[in-house]
Each structure stands twice: as C-alpha cells, then as structure tokens.
C-alpha cells in the first residue's frame, strides 16, 4: 500500500518521485483531481508495485537498466512499464 505525500518540495523538473512505498508529489492534494496528476500518481504506483516485487534490490536493478540503455530515462524498462500502465484506470 502506497503512502502519498503531497506538496513535497521536489525540483521543478520532477512531478513525482517514489521511494519504497512512499510517493512524493510536488503538487497539492487538491490538484490530485486533475487528470494529469491522477496519471502521475498511477505512474508512481507502478513504481511502488515494482518495488514491492523486487524489494530494495529494485534501485540496483533500476540503476543497471538506466546504464544498460545509455542513460535514456524513457528507455528504462521500469519506466516503460510505468508509462504504459499510467493510462489504465
């Protein structure tokens, strides 16, 4: 089960970030009603599910994937899964 922390002071280029089961969102709880923020939360929830499947090893696997795809964020398999599933209800 994920815990969402709204109004988290993230850099402007990052809308959301997941650490373990904690989803850090740079927007207010009120904005979570917006379709784009709902999608962002669904994206981050996929990362929580990935974390739950892999445990803390997830971050090591994520790093290895990032290196393997030449540091292209959108080509990281964990990210591709999250982008694919963020549109699902």
Residues of this chain that interact with Zn ion (CB under 5 A) are 79, 82
Structure-derived torsion over alpha carbons of residues 81, 86, 88, 89, reported in degrees to the nearest 10: 140
Q: Which two tokens stand for residue 7?
A: 């109004």
Q: Which is nearer to Zn ion, 48 or 82 (CB)?
A: 82
Measured between alpha carbons, how far is 23 from 5 in angstroms, rounded to an integer?
6
Rounded to a whole number of angstroms, the minimum distance from the CB of residue 81 to Zn ion is 9
Rounded to a whole number of angstroms, the minimum distance from the CB of residue 36 to Zn ion is 14
Residue nearest to Zn ion (CB): 82
Rounded to a whole number of angstroms, the minimum distance from the CB of residue 41 to Zn ion is 11
Asked whether the beta carbons of 4 and 28 are under 8 A apart, the reply is no
């Amino acid at each position: 089960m994920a815990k969402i922390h709204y109004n988290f002071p993230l850099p402007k280029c990052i809308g959301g970030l997941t650490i373990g089961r904690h989803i850090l969102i740079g927007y207010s709880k009120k904005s979570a009603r917006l379709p784009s923020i709902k999608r962002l939360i669904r994206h981050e929830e996929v990362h929580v599910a990935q974390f739950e499947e892999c445990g803390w090893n997830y971050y090591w696997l994520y790093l290895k994937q990032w290196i393997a795809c030449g540091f292209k964020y959108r080509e990281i398999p964990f990210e591709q899964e999250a982008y694919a599933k963020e549109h699902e209800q």
